[in-house]
Amino acid sequence: MTPATPARQTDPVPETPEPTDEPTPEPTDEPTDEPTDEPTDEPAVVALARRIATEAHRGVDQRDKQQRDYVEAHLAPVAAGCALFGPEAQAAGWLHDVVEDTPTTLADLQRHGIPQEVLDAVDSVTERAGEPYTQLVHRAAADPIGAIVKLVDNAWNLLGNTGLAHTRPEDARRLREKYLPARAVLLAGTGISALRMHELDVVLREQQDRLG
């Protein structure tokens, strides 16, 4: 007697969903509500430096001399000016005050993957305890990237003095007397041409207009 062949098991047929009157959403190219202020073509080292600096300075709620957000009113303009001189200078521009003004250390930056030449530049522009400003300027001028960062920082501070003079004229005068002699030292350290300084001035004035 031939044994019976067992019935072949089949997978259950999925139920067909009931049709609804709701239209299928069409794909759209409309922008979302998510913030998209991060540049998409930014070099990796610049993007990293910007993120570190933004988190660190906003973590201590730092403000500039006119009580504006420090990231937008100081770091972003300095970094924009430094971008004229390459991504390492731009990264150092973002980070130039992070060790001096926040709990972040050079060792922290190194662990995050910041390159050594950027670390050296940040160190060169970071004020040390009891260090006179003129000594800091000469130390910064001796570093190829640090000299550029300090020069851009100096140029931005002098440009911002115009606005400060309306509200705190005595502070503006004191800072002008501090920054103008430093500019000569930093220019000598960088060897930047008059044409490049003009380009820098244009970039910084655009940043000033952005801030209003």
Tell me the domains of the chain and their CATH numbers: 44-211 (1.10.3210.10)
> What pTM does this model have?
0.78
pLDDT in tens, 39-90: 668 999 999 999 999 999 999 999 988 899 999 999 999 999 999 999 999 9
> Distance between CA 204 and CA 92 in Å, rounded?
17
**Site of tokens 């969903």:** 17
pLDDT in tens, 156-197: 988 877 666 566 777 777 878 888 899 999 999 899 999 999
> Distance between CA 121 and CA 143 in Å, rounded?
6
11, two tokens: 């997978």
100, two tokens: 């001096």
